Homo-oligomer: A and B are copies of this chain.
């Protein structure tokens, strides 16, 4: 890989990994096509104990965002409160009181899915579409995340690369997770990864910032997937992959002047569903305990019409 030529490397990887046309001209869900009913039956069979885990961070003003490109933390405000109810300010009959609330937030502010309209390569969106007419100020007119609404439920696999490869369960910032690291983790866990799976990669960075403070979690140095894993992401035919980091791929990126080059391959060319800022820690502790790294995973995006991303509360059940 030539550090000087991200554009060439991206073009080469895009060509090697392209899924354009694979599911027809009208496809709107990309690699979610790999997640079929059979896979869901397989996933559901993994529920043995009935223990459930949330893989979501909390959504509030204490989140990691720092305003980059107008990405803020969620602002939650109340339309009605218990205070007003108790004081009789609400005008409801027979002692009824109520509280309502409002949120204003970037869809990329915390635990989320990137929609297929989130990233483009030279003006091309997923399946070769023209980015200019696919994602306008009115939103993603073709591949809005609402089209994925029913599908993101299946077999989940945790790859705790932090625990297997890192020290004290954590990879350092700037650590590029390669295919070899993924293979070693798969082997250590004794778990298979393949077609239609929903893969969760734990680097341990979130555990670290939970201890040490957010610092540059949002956009700064971080462990993450190496650009070189594009082939693995393609060949395994997984349906989706998520990490506990802001940006999924290793940062700084592995080219001299680059920004999220792996995104540029996997979203527009592969149609891969990418999750970011997930919190796998409670699940990972359980997996380390019982040695079982596969589970039923439901991570349904909110069907916000035309959205290029969605907050999500992924639920794993073992």
Contacts and interface: CB of A to CB of B under 8 A. Distances in A.
A38 to B, nearest CB: 6
A64 interface: no
Given A67-B61, A123-B86, A139 B78 contact: yes
Contact of A77 (B77, B84, B301): B77
B82 A305 contact: no
A196 to B, nearest CB: 11
A121 B92 CA distance: 11
Nearest to A134: B82
B79 A106 contact: yes
Interface in A165-193: none
B75 A70 contact: yes
Interface in A301-317: 301-309, 311-315, 317
Q: Which interface class (under 10, 10 to 19, 20 to 34, 35 or more) fits A?
A: 35 or more
A99 B67 CA distance: 16
Interface in A117-141: 117-123, 125, 130-140
A139 B78 CA distance: 6
A214 to B, nearest CB: 12
A18 interface: no
A212 interface: no
A111 to B, nearest CB: 8
Contact of A139 (B76, B131, B133): B76
Interface stretch (A21-29, A216-224, A231-239, A257-265): A257-265
Contact of A89 (B132, B258, B303, B312): B132
Choose among A6, A85, A260 the residue with the greatest number of B CB atoms under 10 Å from its CB: A85
Contact of A74 (B7, B47, B92, B304): B304
A31 interface: no
Contact of A86 (B62, B108, B131, B138): B131
Contacts of A303: 54, 56-59, 313
20 contacts: A10-B95, A37-B49, A41-B48, A45-B47, A56-B303, A59-B304, A61-B70, A69-B100, A70-B100, A70-B102, A76-B306, A77-B77, A80-B137, A81-B83, A81-B135, A85-B120, A85-B131, A95-B264, A99-B118, A298-B315
